[in-house]
Amino acid sequence: MNNTAKGWLAAIFIGLLWGIPWIVGTPILEVMDAQVLVWVRYSVAFITLFVIIKVSNAIGKPQKKVDFKLNWDNRHDIFWAACCGIIGQGAFSFLSFLSLDYITASENGVIQGLIPIIILCVGFLRHGERFTVLQVVAAVGAFAGVAILVTDPSVEGSGFNIGHLICFGSAASFSTMAYARAKLAEKYGSVATMYHQFIFAAIGFGIYLLFAGADFSSALGIFSSPLRILCIAILGVGISGISYLIYIYAMERVGVDGTGMALNLMPLSSFILAVFALGEAVTPMRLLAIAVVICSMMMFMKCSHKKEPEAEVKLAESN
């Protein structure tokens, strides 16, 4: 299996995994505010990566390509790392958890499925990316699949409300930092990149909570039940701490846009979990939507195949 194929497998795994954070976070939100949960989540995440870095260094496999220096000469990278941490991680997580006060976890997962489309738009408007006609058709097809999930008339919903806009803001927060995140990972390595982003997210929200007068003691509510302990472990260690390393691994091999398209599987993952865990209805329209999303992603993957040799050469040069 070549590096590109491994990248696609990693991207698909992340697309499925990232459909569940908002469902795992629901039991924790019963005992604390969304903003406190964000602080706890990224505090656990950066501790996880700190341990990974120390273990890697101890066994002689350092994860860093270049040292991330906190000095004036490196102010540009510090700025973007802070933006990726506070906006691309903290605001993304906070707004998504906040939206659960107004919409269901399943709706949240569907809206998060728009992330690949937003990433494509950012690439086109900000970075001058150009796409083939088939890639554009694939992107539109993925968006259509998400739209079908949202507008399925055979399932009773709560109707459009502020929660949908908040959740869209969450997706936009993550998407606008995708290219900056990839550039930092190329320079510093995936572990070091995410480690510093998580530190900025935890510190940024910690400062915000101090000024907002939030109740930090509510974080102890995690220990009120084994289920909540398990949920924060999944959320902070697995989904945040480790899965982002797999995400950046995928970006290095199939690119920001290819990895972004794989994130179309997020609503599929949310829907499946909602069916088995929450008893949500399975309808022909929703099954059609899932098929459209998967077929659109396969089309995008096929269209990206011609770019693989160049991508592998760049990967070999960076190793």
The fraction of the chain above a pLDDT of 70, given in percent, is 84
| Inside any domain, residue 68 | yes
For the stretch 219-275, pLDDT in tens is 889 999 999 999 999 898 988 878 877 887 888 788 776 776 777 777 778 778 777
CB 120 within 8 A of CB 263: no
| Inside any domain, residue 315 | no
State yes or no: pLDDT of 156 exceeds 70. Answer: no
Structure tokens at 6: 């491994």
| Inside any domain, residue 318 | no
Higher local confidence (pLDDT), 93 or 114: 93
CB 44 within 8 A of CB 199: no
Q: Cα separations (Å) of 191 from 180, 239, 315?
A: 15, 14, 17
User: Could you tell me how many residues make up the chain?
Assistant: 319
Q: What is the DSSP string of 245-307?
A: HHHHHHHHHHHHHHHHHHTTHHHHHHHHHHHHHH-PPP-HHHHHHHHHHHHHHHHHHHHHGGG
Whole-structure pTM value:
0.77
Report the pLDDT value the prediction gives residue 313, as an integer from 0 to 100. 33
User: What DSSP element (H or E) covers 181?
Assistant: helix 178-188
| Inside any domain, residue 293 | yes
CB 25 within 8 A of CB 85: no
Report the pLDDT value the prediction gives residue 318, as an integer from 0 to 100. 36
| Inside any domain, residue 49 | yes
Assign 52 a pLDDT band (cuts: 50, 70, 90): confident
| Inside any domain, residue 294 | yes
Structure tokens at 251: 């970006």
* Count of the separate structural domains present in the chain: 1
Structure tokens at 281: 């209805």
| Inside any domain, residue 316 | no
Domain of 56, in residue numbers: 3-309
C-alpha to C-alpha distance for 244 and 267, rounded to whole angstroms? 18
| Inside any domain, residue 314 | no
Higher local confidence (pLDDT), 117 or 173: 173
